[in-house]
Structure 1
Amino acid sequence: MIAGLIFATEAAEDRGEALAATSPFGGMTLIEYQARLLIGCGAGQLMIAVARVTPALLAAVNRIARRGVAVDVVRSAEEAAAKAHPLASIVVVADSLVTTDQAMRAIAFAQPDTLMVTAEAASPAAVERVDAGHVWAGLAALSATRLKEIAGMPREYDFQSTLLRVVVAGGAAQIQLPAAAKRAGHGVERHAGALASRGNAVLAALANGRTDWPDRFVFTPISRFALPKLAARGLPHWAAPAAAGVLTVAGLAAAWFGSAGAGVFLSLFGIASLSTGSLLSWLRGDDRRALAQEAAIALIAAITVLATGVAASVQDATLTPFVLAAVAVAAAGMGERSGARAAWWWGSPAGYPLILAPFALAGFSWAGLAVIAVYAMVTLGAVVESLRAKA
């Protein structure tokens, strides 16, 4: 069992008495983002270590609790030891730490009594020195036994610092902070302006997690540009799917009235909307809605290809374009259902309309459909060979 221990005691540097943990971050608060990462790693219990409870913190804790995990506010190691499950592996998150999913997973699945460290003492990731060559990077995994050890110490001791010293004295293992986390802005930050900048870096890293070529070269740059702005404005969860639906319907209407090229491009804008919306839903902890939007991308792509095939068949008075569209959709569907790990060049739902678009715009929809049908078949062949190699 994984439990999380998040420290939320320090005040923000530019927000009066407000806690740094409740500073805005990516459309939520920093502590909600930290909790989101822990829940994503399988944490079933979260403990929030505080010195005082503010209304903003209480509201954030209530929102975290709605995600289906037990949340306990603790004021000392003694309270934390009493609340923690005795068999839990406890993931410690330093006060005001901005990190990434990759770094959180690395520490969450490490053995108890492990510290994540960096050799760069001047780095924003450096929280406190642990030995001559390393500083703590703000993440640790420990056993519930360590909390009991600290609980027996005077309450005047700083909880976070004492916990670190006890783990170090116990001969904790060390793992290095991932380089990708450094680039994404991993570090402690209590200034609201700088925190917003760090948040944008983390959001960009989230968008960069998609590696197939349509996302890498087209949709990820769009998401990287739009995501921080949409998150900061608190875009409602229904906005991206609604926009995608309107654009798709408009695209179908355009194809019906003889403008297949415009129809495909409108659908691509809808796919871009869902691509960004799914990342935003993931960031907010709504995995179900994020997965639904990813599935909707495939649905819109299939509808777009089939609608283009129908329009071209009607225009050319032959079934060939529709047959090509059906073959492309069938082959792509089988490839997607295989679950095989995709190579970067394999076809993907968002990629097929992207290839089709210039052909449709030039009035050669049948040629574009032929190209994506061949591409889908080649991808399916690669999928089959990949599965055979693993068998």
Structure 2
Amino acid sequence: MLAGLIFATEDAGDRPGTLAATLPFGGMTLLEYQARLLVGAGVAQILVAVTRMTPALLGAVSRAAKRGVPIDVVRSAQEAAAKAHPLASIVVIADGLVTTDDVVERIAGEGKDAVVVTQDASVSLERLDARHCWAGIARTPAQRLSDIAAFPADYDFQSTLLRAIVQAGAEQIALPASAIRAGHGVERDGAALASRSNAVLAALTERRTSWADRHVFTRTARLLLPKVVERALPGWLLTASGVALAGMAAVLILAGWPWGALIALPGVAAFATGAALSALRGEERRAQVQERLIAVSAALVILTLGAGESLLELSWDGLILALVTVAATAIGERTQARVRRWWGSPAGYLLLVTPFAVTGRVSWGLAAVAIYAFVTLAAAVESQREKP
């Protein structure tokens, strides 16, 4: 069994009387984000170690519990040992820790004591030896809680538990440099936490790897996400905006204005931003839906461009090129195991065909994306062949 232990005891550095765990982070509180990471790693129980309950903390715990994993609030090692399953392996999250799914998933699971360490003191809590500092996350058997339960009440729960884990011969796992770039660190200052939130948001947008996503739509999402989070805009608003813009583009194209394809581009940016925001909040299903809507928007624009061109030229050529593009893309998306940077994608095809549509060369654009989609499909199929 896997369980989680989140520490929420320290006040924010710039907000006296406010617990750092209740500071805003990515449209939620830091504690809710930490709980989301643990739920994503597969924990079946979460313990929250506190010294006092505040209305903000109570609300954060209540909202975090809606993810379907029971959350118990404990005030000491004795209470934690009593409520934790005796055979559980516990992932320990330090007070004020900001990290990513990759780091939590790397340390989660069954096994002996382990601590994530770093040589960068700016993203750590306590020094373990002359070279290494604790990076704020560890794994330990539930027995370790029982080992420190008899310690005096004035001992710091978090620090004492860390020392017990280290003295048990914990495995040291190096914190990857990519995690630091993605915002990993311990932070209890509201303004600095907002900066780390932006770093995590930026890292989430990097999940999309094709050239069009990485160099156009990812950069746009990186600019929009902090503003969306700051204004607490709901995720459905981004989805609705994307759908509305795609529909408007299709209507304009069918009305005889092919430049309407240009309007679909901000719609794709809205979907990309919404997908990253959903991923931050642990709503993977919604994020996948928004990713699929990007493909649907691109297909809708390309098909309407093909239909409009066929009607204008009284020929099936435009519609056939559009159908070839959509069919090749659909098969290619199912075939690709590892996407190469130069391979085409729905967002890339939309980006490529738009300049042709704006300049009135729709048939040229449709031919270009059809060839690109077919070449991508061929490369994807070839990558799946067993090499002799």
Aligned partner of 1:344 in structure 2 is 341
- CA–CA distance in structure 2, aligned partners of residues 71 and 242 of structure 1: 34
Distance 1:8 1:389 in 2: 52
1:239 matched to which residue of 2? 237
1:165 Cα deviation (Å)? 0.5
For 2:3, the aligned partner's letter is: A
Residue identity in the other structure for 2:163: R
Alpha-carbon distance, 1:309 to partner: 0.5
Q: Is contact 2:89-2:110 (8 Å) kept?
A: no
* Counterpart residue type for residue 36 of structure 1: R
Moved more, 109-118 or 13-22: 109-118
- Kept in 2, the 8 Å contact 1:90–1:112? The answer is no
Tell me what 1:332 maps to: 329
Contact 2:328 2:373 in 1 (8 A): yes
The secondary structure found in structure 1 opposite 2:12 is coil
Q: Counterpart amino acid of 1:253?
A: V
- Compute the displacement of 1:210 (Å): 2.1
Counterpart residue type for residue 56 of structure 1: A
1:270 alignment partner in structure 2 = 267
**More off after superposition, 106-115 vs 140-149:** 106-115
SS at match of 2:13: coil
Contact 1:321 1:366 in 2 (8 A): yes
CA distance in 2, matches of 1:67, 1:318: 54
Once residues 347 and 220 of structure 2 are traced to their aligned partners in structure 1, the CA distance between those partners, rounded to angstroms, is 14
The equivalences for 1:188-337 within 5 A come to 188-261=186-259, 263-337=260-334
Distance in 1 (alpha carbons) for counterparts of 2:258 and 2:69: 48
Matched, 1:84 2:81: no
Indicate conservation of the 8 Å contact 2:209/2:339, yes or no: no
Question: Which position in structure 1 is the counterpart of 2:370?
Answer: 373
Q: Is the 8 A contact 1:278 1:289 kept in 2?
A: yes
Which of these residues, 341, 348, 353, is aligned with residue 350 of structure 2? Answer: 353
Unaligned ranges ≥5, structure 2: none
Question: Is the partner of 1:53 in helix, strand or coil?
Answer: coil
Q: Secondary structure at the match of 1:155?
A: coil
Which residue identity is paired with 1:364?
R
Residue of structure 2 in register with 1:136 after alignment: 134
What residue identity is the alignment partner of 1:254? L
C-alpha separation in 2, matches of 1:24 and 1:63? 13
Structure 1 residue identity aligned to 2:329: A
String of CA shifts for 1:288-325, please: whole Å, max 9, x gaps: 21111111111111111111110111111111010010
Counterparts in 2 of 1:282 and 1:172: CA distance versus 1, 3 Å? same
Superposed counterparts of 1:95-244, under 5 Å: 95-109=95-109, 111-120=111-120, 123-244=121-242
Count of aligned positions? 388
Per-residue CA deviation, residues 199-256 of structure 1 (Å, 9 max, x unaligned), is 1112112212322111110011101101011011111121011101111111011101
Q: CA deviation at 1:390?
A: 7.8
CA contact (8 A) 1:281 1:289 kept: yes
SS of alignment partner, residue 44 of structure 2: strand
Kept after mapping to 1: 8 A contact 2:81/2:142? yes
Deviations 1:129-176 (A, max 9, x none): 111211101010111121221223223211100111001111101011
Instruction: Work out the percentage of aligned pairs sharing the same amino acid.
Output: 55
Q: Which amino acid aligns with 2:90?
A: I
Q: 1:44 to 1:338 in 2, by over 3 A?
A: farther
Q: What displacement does 1:336 show?
A: 1.0
RMSD: 1.5
With over 3 angstroms needed to count, the CA separation of the structure-2 counterparts of 1:390 and 1:199, relative to structure 1, is farther
Structure 1 residue runs of 5 or longer lacking an equivalent are none
Deviation at 1:360, TM superposition (A): 1.0
Deviates more, 1:75-84 or 1:315-324: 75-84
Aligned partners of 2:178, 2:307: CA distance in 1, in Å? 46
- 1:61 corresponds in structure 2 to 61
Measure how far apart 1:56 and its partner are.
0.5
8 A Cα contact 2:204 2:279, kept in partner: no
Where has structure 1 moved over 3 Å in runs of 4 or more?
109-112
Question: What secondary structure is seen at the aligned counterpart in 1 of 2:107?
Answer: helix
Structure 1 pair 110–364 and aligned structure 2 pair: CA distance change class (3 A): farther
Query: 137-146 or 331-340: which moved more?
Result: 331-340
In the other structure, the counterpart of 1:44 is 44
1:18 alignment partner, SS class: strand
TM-score by length of 2: 0.96
Pairwise CA distance, 1:339 = 5.0
